[in-house]
Amino acid sequence: MQKITAAITAVGGYVPEYKLTNKILETMVDTTDEWILTRTGISERRILNTPGLGASDMAVPAIQEILTKKQLEPTDIDVIICATVTPDMVFPATANVIADKLGATNAWGFDLAAACSGFLYALNVGASLIETNRYKRVLVVGVDKMSSIIDYTDRATCIIFGDGAGAVLLEPNHDGLGIQDSILKSNGEGRHYLHMKAGGSVKPASIDTVTAKEHFVYQDGKTVFKYAVAGMADVSYELLQRNNLTGDDIQWLVPHQANMRIITATAERMGLPMEKVMLNIEKYGNTTAATLPLCLWDWEQKLNKGDKLVLAAFGGGFTWGATLLHWGY
């Protein structure tokens, strides 16, 4: 029997309307538009500022766009994998909430927490499910409401992150399109440099943890930057090498949008000109698990069947990796 591969057959996305610009941040913390733009490449980010809304409320419209494009009913979906570090609540999984809000009553699903590599990890898990031939339609959504865990008095973190959701549909392909190869890595030592100090089982929420602002993102930016530059560039280069490819063979690099300088270093290492790199960091900032699918969403019209894409990410954990895929439509 011919090998079944898992191809992306549709993309959807959602970003909230409110734009938190660098100019507005200048009025909130000691920073400048010029510093943020030159050090990160970010001009503005979207914020879900309607009280009572969470990650699922961004994931649902992203998925509904896919259902509309593909003329599918919610009941046609087999599995929902939700990559997030800002779930609606600690439990149940946001995937369950999404399924309920969609009416995807035939789907099972779960959340996957791998921070900025969440979508990449989830895409690979979803592809494996398709390759077993037991599931025909797997939705992979990357969503984060980073504004819910950001301290807007901390200039080291509040300038970077934004909110958003991106989703893809994975379906079986018999022509060899879709996910081809991946290198996925993690190193738990990295937890010391990027984490949230309280709210887990080690340090449950208390008045003291709230007072100490321990429910916000802590990042040692310089150290994370060092690991991210090396990590993302190394795996992307290794992936090309072991598939006997060079930058010339790749149509698009789809990099995690954390910092323009990390993206540039990865593209250079792969021998790719910046015209072949998907970039939306300037308008969305770092949306954690949503950056990769939001790039695909923005670029969907420019993609052609058979295009070779490398998706690459680095994030908290540390987690990182790269995936080679052939575009499915």
Interacting residues with ligand UT7 (CB under 6 A) = 31, 35, 39-40, 116, 155-156, 159-160, 221-222, 224-225, 228, 258-259, 262, 286, 314-315
* Identity at 175, one-letter amino acid code: D
Q: Is there a catalytic annotation at residue 280? A: no
Q: Is there a catalytic annotation at residue 116? A: yes
Q: Which residues contact 315 (CB under 8 A, 6 or more apart)?
A: 114, 115, 116, 117, 118, 194, 256, 258, 288
* Identity at 236, one-letter amino acid code: S
- Least Å from the CB of residue 118 to ligand UT7: 11
- Least Å from the CB of residue 322 to ligand UT7: 15
* Identity at 299, one-letter amino acid code: W
∠ CA 297-257-275, rounded to 5°: 70
Residue closest to ligand UT7 (Cβ): 221
Catalytic residue from among 124, 173, 256, 295: 256
- Least Å from the CB of residue 20 to ligand UT7: 13
The HSE-up count of residue 143 (CA atoms within 13 Å, CB side) is: 34
By beta-carbon proximity to ligand UT7, the closer residue of 38 and 206 is 38
By beta-carbon proximity to ligand UT7, the closer residue of 156 and 198 is 156
By beta-carbon proximity to ligand UT7, the closer residue of 135 and 193 is 193
- Least Å from the CB of residue 159 to ligand UT7: 4
Beta strands in 236-302 (DSSP E): 252-255
Asked if 187 and 317 touch (Cβ cutoff 8 Å), the reply is yes
By beta-carbon proximity to ligand UT7, the closer residue of 34 and 208 is 34
Find the distance separating the first CA and the last CA of the chain, reported in whole Å. 23
By beta-carbon proximity to ligand UT7, the closer residue of 96 and 117 is 117
Rounded to whole angstroms, the Cα distance separating 235 from 327 reads 20
Using alpha carbons, list the distances in angstroms from residue 278 to 64, 190, 214, 312. Answer: 24, 27, 34, 11
Using alpha carbons, list the distances in angstroms from residue 177 to 23, 170, 174, 251, 306. Answer: 44, 11, 7, 15, 7
Asked if 270 and 250 touch (Cβ cutoff 8 Å), the reply is yes
- Least Å from the CB of residue 69 to ligand UT7: 29
Catalytic residue from among 116, 158, 295, 326: 116
Q: Is there a catalytic annotation at residue 158? A: no
- Least Å from the CB of residue 222 to ligand UT7: 5
By beta-carbon proximity to ligand UT7, the closer residue of 14 and 227 is 227
* Residues identified as active-site: 116, 256, 286
